[in-house]
Structure formats: structure tokens, C-alpha cells
């Protein structure tokens, strides 16, 4: 066999091996270990100066649902010097608990994985993930847990209602508005929960955020959605913030028998999870509760205010 031919053949084979190893290395990517914040998309991240305004508010998380469901690539924002580098997240050895990354949006995580070059943003193939910090919304919500937050609003008849008068009951306080489509979506579930749990001492209350002049729209909404629980008018974004919800509708607060915030839910409620949460609160032993700051009688606030409370139930 011609030696020159053999040499050329071996050289070609060696070159091919090197090429294959190179391609395999690129496919595998460079190993990385980074810490950053999971964000729904580039546009939402760039809406504000993130060196000054933290991402992960209730509004950010609600908007993220649409971004993720719309197919926007979920990203990881990693601080580099005075700015941030963004990676597109890809599932690797780490397996998502659901269909997408929505559970991790807004959270700060440590990721072990591999980086892959791409046209715009590097891809980060996630082999391991650990949450090291909850989202801003979750941290704000935790600040109100266990606290009694006052709320006084007028019902549909104009009578002033006070949340403190509902001590002794489990309260599901839902903030909503007629212009909020997700609010319309969850109304049947809330009405069903009102019917199902009312005999056990549970009260759903709808705190409406429409303007006073839109009362006719509110009444129309109530009839169409078959709302069967009290509606209080003129709630504000300030009220929602005090309850740890942020300013985006809808939002729901679960309040225990002692009048303390038990859970804060931004966005549409999961009715089955809400039922489980209510069952847990109902199973808790009832402690002695005050009648509210203005009663001073020691009597049962539910009995002494029966006419007032009933006046807020839509008909």
C-alpha cells in the first residue's frame, strides 16, 4: 500500500476525530455555576432600571403568566459588574415540576449547568437548581401573615362594613373589579365556596375596586356572575398593598377566625387549594376573640350586626 496514501488517510481520520470531539464539546457546553433571578422575558426585565427597582413584584408575577403562556423564553438575570447578563433557560438534568418555569419566576436561584452559545443570548442548560431567595411579592406577603389588617368599606346599600366584625369566622376577602377579566373567571369558584362553606362559618367578601359612578356596572356584573356573597365598594390599591397583594387584580386574602391574615394569593385562586386552606383554618381550635374595637359589649358580633351584614349581600 502506498505510504503517502496511508499517511493522508490517517491524517484525515485524526482530523475527523478532533472535529467530532470539538462538536461534542460545543454540544455539551461549558460547565457553569451561577446565581441569578428567574425572569419571565427580556421585555419585562427591561421595563425598569433593575439596579434600582427589584423585579418580582405582584404585578411582575401576574404579567409573567401571560409571557410564559405566550411562549416567551424564560431567562436568568445574572449580575455582572454594573449590569446584568441574561441567559435563556433550558431544561437539562434538572426536571421542572410543571410544564414551564412559572413556579420559579421572581425567585433568586443557584444553577449548576452548561452554557451554550446562541445568536442573541446564551442558553443555560439547567442540571441543578436551588432556590436561595423568594420573590419580592412572596416576601412582602409574608410580612402581613399573622397580622390583623383593618378594613372599612361601604356595602351596596351604602352601609359601612368593618372587617373586624367578622372575627369568629374564616373570611375569604377577594379584591376584584368589573374591568378585570381574570376576576370574572374566578367568581363562579368563589360563589361555590361561599355556598359550600357558609354553614361552617366561612364568609366570602368581595372588595370591589370600581369607581363610585360605575355602580350600575357592578350590579350588572353581580347578576351575570351570580355572586352570592357580600360586595363592598370603593376598595383601593392602598388597601391591597396593606394586605400584601400589590396593586394587580385579582387578589385574595384568607383570614382566620381571630381576624389574622393567614394567606395572600395574587392572581386567580386555585379553588381546590383554597378549599384545603379553608379546611385547615376550620380545624384550628377557636380562641377567645374580641368583638371589635367599636362594639365594647362583649356580645357576639355576628348576632349583633346580623342586619348590617345581611344588607351587603347582593340580591
- Supply the pLDDT for residue 287: 63
- Supply the pLDDT for residue 4: 55
At the topology level, CATH places domain 142-310 in Glutaredoxin (3.40.30)
- Supply the pLDDT for residue 21: 39
> Torsion angle of alpha carbons 270, 276, 281, 283, nearest 10°?
170
Q: By three-state DSSP, how is residue 186 classified?
A: helix
Can you tell me the distance from the alpha carbon of 246 to that of 59, in angstroms, rounded to the nearest whole number? 7
What's the average model confidence in pLDDT over 216-239?
Answer: 94
Q: 246: how many CB neighbours lie within 10 A of its CB?
A: 22
Residue pLDDT, tens place only, 274-310: 999 999 999 988 664 433 333 333 333 333 343 334 3
Which carries the bigger pLDDT value, residue 53 or residue 97?
53
Q: Count CA within 13 A, CB hemisphere, residue 168.
A: 13
Q: Per-residue confidence at 138, pLDDT binned at 50, 70, 90?
A: confident
- Supply the pLDDT for residue 304: 36
- Supply the pLDDT for residue 8: 53
Which carries the bigger pLDDT value, residue 251 or residue 291?
251
- Look at phi and psi of residue 88 and say left if phi exceeds 0, alpha if psi is from -120 to 50, else beta: beta
Can you tell me the distance from the alpha carbon of 186 to that of 109, in angstroms, rounded to the nearest whole number? 31
Q: Count CA within 13 A, CB hemisphere, residue 313.
A: 13
Name 147's Cβ contacts closer than 8 Å, sequence gap at least 6: 260, 261
Q: Which option is the CATH number for 30-133: 2.60.40, 1.20.272, 2.40.50, 2.30.30? A: 2.40.50
- Supply the pLDDT for residue 285: 81
- Which stretch of DSSP H or E encloses residue 51? none
- Look at phi and psi of residue 259 and say left if phi exceeds 0, alpha if psi is from -120 to 50, else beta: left
Q: What ranges do the domains of the chain cover?
A: 30-133, 142-310
Q: Residue 96 to residues 106, 169, 227: CA-CA distances in angstroms?
A: 16, 38, 37
- Supply the pLDDT for residue 7: 46
Amino acid at each position: 500500500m502506498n505510504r503517502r496514501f496511508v499517511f493522508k488517510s490517517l491524517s484525515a481520520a485524526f482530523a475527523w476525530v478532533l472535529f467530532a470531539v470539538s462538536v461534542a464539546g460545543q454540544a455539551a457546553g461549558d460547565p457553569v455555576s451561577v446565581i441569578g433571578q428567574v425572569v419571565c422575558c427580556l421585555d419585562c426585565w427591561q421595563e425598569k432600571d433593575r439596579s434600582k427597582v427589584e423585579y418580582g413584584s405582584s404585578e411582575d408575577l401576574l404579567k409573567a403568566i401571560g409571557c410564559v403562556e405566550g411562549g416567551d423564553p424564560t431567562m436568568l438575570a445574572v449580575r455582572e459588574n454594573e449590569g446584568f447578563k441574561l441567559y435563556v433557560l433550558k431544561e437539562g438534568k434538572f426536571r421542572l415540576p410543571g410544564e414551564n418555569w412559572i413556579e420559579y419566576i421572581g425567585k433568586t436561584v443557584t444553577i449548576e449547568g452548561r452554557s451554550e452559545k446562541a445568536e442573541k443570548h446564551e442558553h443555560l442548560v439547567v442540571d441543578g437548581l436551588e432556590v436561595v431567595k423568594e420573590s419580592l411579592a412572596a416576601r412582602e406577603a409574608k410580612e402581613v401573615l399573622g397580622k390583623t389588617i383593618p378594613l372599612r368599606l361601604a356595602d351596596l346599600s351604602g352601609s359601612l362594613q368593618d372587617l373586624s366584625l367578622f372575627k369568629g369566622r374564616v373570611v375569604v376577602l377577594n379584591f376584584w373589579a368589573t374591568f378585570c377579566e381574570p376576576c370574572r373567571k374566578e367568581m363562579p369558584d368563589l360563589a361555590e365556596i361561599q355556598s359550600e362553606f357558609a354553614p361552617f362559618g366561612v364568609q366570602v367578601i368581595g372588595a370591589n375596586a370600581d369607581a363610585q359612578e360605575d355602580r350600575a356596572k357592578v350590579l350588572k356584573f353581580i347578576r351575570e356572575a351570580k355572586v352570592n356573597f357580600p360586595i363592598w365598594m370603593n376598595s383601593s390599591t392602598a388597601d391591597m398593598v396593606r394586605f400584601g397583594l400589590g396593586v394587580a387584580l385579582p387578589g385574595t386574602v384568607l383570614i382566620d377566625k381571630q381576624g389574622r391574615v393567614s394567606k395572600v394569593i395574587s392572581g386567580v385562586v386555585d379553588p381546590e387549594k383554597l378549599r384545603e386552606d379553608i379546611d385547615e383554618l376550620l380545624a384550628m381550635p377557636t380562641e377567645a376573640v374580641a368583638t371589635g374595637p367599636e362594639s365594647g359589649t362583649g356580645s357576639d358580633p355576628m348576632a349583633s350586626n346580623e342586619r348590617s351584614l345581611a344588607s351587603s349581600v347582593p340580591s
